[in-house]
Amino acid sequence: MSDNAVPEVDIHEAARRIQSGVLLIDVREPDEYAEVHAVGARLLPLSDLTARADEIPSDQPILIICRSGARSERAAEWLNDRGASATNVAGGTIAWVAAGLPSATGPTL
């Protein structure tokens, strides 16, 4: 990993960006995602990131979320090192749910 700082936004800014069409990727595991996730978040577990990186658009900004912000920061750094424009969502899903932002339960479709 590089020594570059990973861009970061809080959950409220992330929600604004999602409303304007920015893709949100959740890097938690499927069981965590099924328990609760931000509405519209696309599941791509950190454990699958390197194998599925080609599924992530490189021509648009993306937001990365996890439980609290640590895994998503690592994922965003890895993606940015490879030319993506990834931003970490500080506080993660814990902060998202605590703030009452739109969330859902159940597995990805």
Nearest Cα to 62, choosing from 84, 82, 77, 31? 84
Inter-CA distances, 89 with 51, 73, 109, Å: 22, 8, 23
Cβ-based burial of 23 (10 A; exposed 0-12, middle 13-18, buried ≥19) = middle
* 66 catalytically annotated: yes
Catalytic residue among 41, 56, 64, 66: 66
Catalytic machinery residues? 66
